[in-house]
Structure 1
Amino acid sequence: MFENYFIRHQPVRVEADPTIDPNLESATLDDSNPSNSSRVNHNLPMLVLSIARLLILVFIHHKSDDACLLNQEAESLDDRLDSLLEKYLAAPKEPTSGETNDRKAREKWQELNSALDTATATYRRKEKKEKNFKFPQLMIKNLYHFNNLRLKYSLDGTPAPSAAASLAAAQAAINQRSFASGTAPKARSGIYLARSIQFEARHVINNKSLLEVKRGNRKTHHSLLDNAKLRKELLTWAASQTPGHVTPLTFREYTLHTVFPQFDINRSLSRQTATRWMIRLGYRPQEYRKCLYFDGHERPDVIEARKKYIKEFDLYRKRSRIYGGDDLDMAPQVDPAALGDGKETVFIYHDESTIHAKEKPKSSWLLPGTTELRSKSAGRLIHISDFILETTGRLKLSAEQFAETGIESDDAATIIYPGSNGDKWWDMEQLCHQVAKKAIPVFELLHPNCQAVFVFDCSSAHGAFSKSALRVQNMNLSPGGKQSRLQDSVIPCDDPHIPQHLRGLAQTFVYDSLHPDPKRAGKPKGIQVILEERGLWDYYNNLRLKERKPALKLRCDVCSKSNARKDALVRSEKLIRQAEATGYLLSEEQCVEELMVAEGHCPEDMSNQPNLTAKSVGCCWSNILSHQSDFRQQTTIASTYY
């Protein structure tokens, strides 16, 4: 009955999974499964069950007298089973699935982080070399955030960690952008940005750089300017305008209020879009440049003045509040030790500016082939003088504060219209009135118990002296005539040539109204009388006679030179050096004449004068009096006024 049954024996392979043929007529150890042929099966119960089934399927072939042979083959199978078990127990065990996931997650984090570091370093180098390159800060930051969140979600066992991390990073970027702009955040899901972050992450890993954005580089985008009729209307209007009068603002206003209603367009137009439209229509900005500048920052006297200014500035700055914070809106209290017995200081900066009523910008938008014909008249001149400070911006009171006070103005600004038919030109007298009647009253109301530190620039007007200041330039040699009435003084005690009995006595520069000579009563004394009263007139006359030199004049040749020529001499030195550096030869006299002619002066009047470059005390009467200590210590009107 078993004649039709047979046993097919094949060698058992340790590396293979035992597979049983469903056909009971045969049984084999099949290793055809490619997925399992390269590894050891560690499922011991299944292996034992399969071998047991194999033993059951051993069939008898032919007769019972072959039982001995079958027993030998069964013993051979037992030996093979024992060998298989030994190899299984000796084989190394694979790590668990949890350890594998952690290792893979950290490898992914390290791979993306290394690629981001490389891309960041490349972009930083490119940013230093190319001025127009903008570092992709937002996307780099989003990718770093995504990489950290993906590692965290992978270790926590969060499903789909990449998708969850990209969405969380996108939503965080949207919220941060809304917070930085100061506006209410818009309702956005962040799905598109999350997809972009994942796509950028793959691109960075493969290319070590971000994906190059090419949006907007094609001309297939629809624009309202593509409408031929609308474009013709704008070109017709632009061509009819005066060259130089069309600006992005006027172009935008005309488009919004005239052109769009004609074409039933209910849309807005930004200034940036209006500028792009003007460029597409052919407009180009053209700038006028015409200026001459002389740099005197490295002059020795300027350097000393800067050092003195910085020293005084630091002295008062220690007693003022220093604003800090991200927006410079936080000012801590001043240290009481720094204040001492003094008051807290507030720095107030002054500046002036002049504009014309018809003043135009330097650049104008012009169509091809058009030029701007500017009027020679710039209009009425407007002069503005104002103050600014850290605490309140402009020095200005509110409407309520001004109503409670009776001061002259609610702000410290002064506007005048100087000219032949307008106000008189700005001078030191008007500046002093502005400070005393406007700036100081407003400051005392805004900052009680504080000390104001007014800072002015180095304008020549700010260094003006009062009409009664002790200035030799305002005096004649003889009494009377057109000379200023100078203030009283005290005869100095530091000049050894002044007699001892005259030192320290009071001295007036104007004759008394009861003077016996009616021609001198109430008249200015002049240089000669002032020097006679100080005992210097006789001293220097006798000295000249002793040295057999000619008598002194009111002003010597050097002292008679105009301020314009003196300034031209100083500037000519720099121009001569510049000419020599470029290979040209320029004489001093030629340079001085060119500078004076450019400023509207006539150098011919001084061409015959000797070129004296130095002067000493005693060269003329004006020089002698100007070197007296009371004349040298005379301060400007600003210092005297306050």
Structure 2
Amino acid sequence: MKLFLWQYISTNNGWIASSLHVAHAAERGPWLAKQLRIWTRAYINDHECLPFNQYGRWNVSLLEDEDLAQEIHVHLQSIGKYVKAMDIVHFLDTSEMKARLKLKKTISLATAQQWMRIMDYRWTKNPQGQFVDGHEREDVVEYRQLVFLPFWKNMEPSMRSWTKNIEDARPVTGPGMSAPHIIVWHHDESTFYANDRRKIRWVHSGETAVPYAKGEGASLMVADFVSADYGWLRSPDGTREARVLFKAGKARQGYFTNEDILSQAKNAMDILEEHYPDDKHVLLFDNATTHQKRADDALSARKMPKFTPAVGNNWGVETNIIGADGKPTYGPDGKILKTKVQMRDGTFADGSPQTFYFPEGHAREGVFKGMAVTCGSGPLLRMAGYSSLQISHNLFFRP
């Protein structure tokens, strides 16, 4: 209005021409020019009569209608996991919904995206929870119900429990003294990759594609112990820690095996004994196959040859060659080098030892007897009066 009056007074343009000139400068048309003339005449007649700016006061979101919001929620849930903002646009783009909401046309995609945020949807990666594979296997359920949970229940009276103020709420026992706490340390292994990156984000339309590395890249495994009482397992001054950084791969540090688990556990126990001697400690590990290992010379009939090896040959249990650093040794082909060790002796039912290799003084001294010799003639010789020690035959262990 001020510009309109200034234009009218300072130029030779007429009333209508001045209003059209100001409307054109505001990138508007004849409608605004007409409104300017109406508003200005009203102001000239009454200086208290000014148009009231309604900007931002009339726009009440349709989503504030709880019934409509609930209908949209139900519609999105019926679509399934992969919903999108355009589903709301299509939902409102029906004659029935437009008539009910008094809409001439459906909402825009931008509005639908705002509604998705209001309804607590986020454009992000699909959330992933705990792996469920194998959790209901019969042996897993049996161990959990009959071993782990009873063990945990027995520990609970001596474990710390916490109030809302993060204070130890465990009752004091004895004459003013608390019994030693049981601290549970959970073993955790996480693997990080060189090419880890965010995969979903808001991208500006002006951005161009940028080349990136193919695959996950080199990995770094971090193995550590953590507890609710002390956090990560380390000495109070931080000079010693149980954390292990491991570069997995046959061309790098090999693979995290039972030997690495034992070494890390030994280091953890040394730290606990030195710095936390007043507590009792329990180390919990995942029941992963890489955490388990049979003794190198453990009894097993699974790979025993049936017959005595030919002259010049022998049979033994293959085991990894361990280097001075305590790690398996790899050959030029990238495979772990192996050596053979004798299987340990078994035991007869009467407690006498049972060896699977020909004894000292025998023509084949130290050579594996073979399953046929070990199992075949034992019962017959026993009937003939030979002792178990003399026969040294029948197997009494499980494969």
* TM-score (normalised: structure 2): 0.50
Give the number of the structure with larger relative contact order, counting CA–CA contacts within 8 Å between residues 6 or more apart: 2
Question: Of Structure 1 and Structure 2, which has the larger fraction of its residues in helix?
Answer: 1
* TM-score (normalised: structure 1): 0.32
Structure exhibiting the larger radius of gyration computed from Cα positions: 1
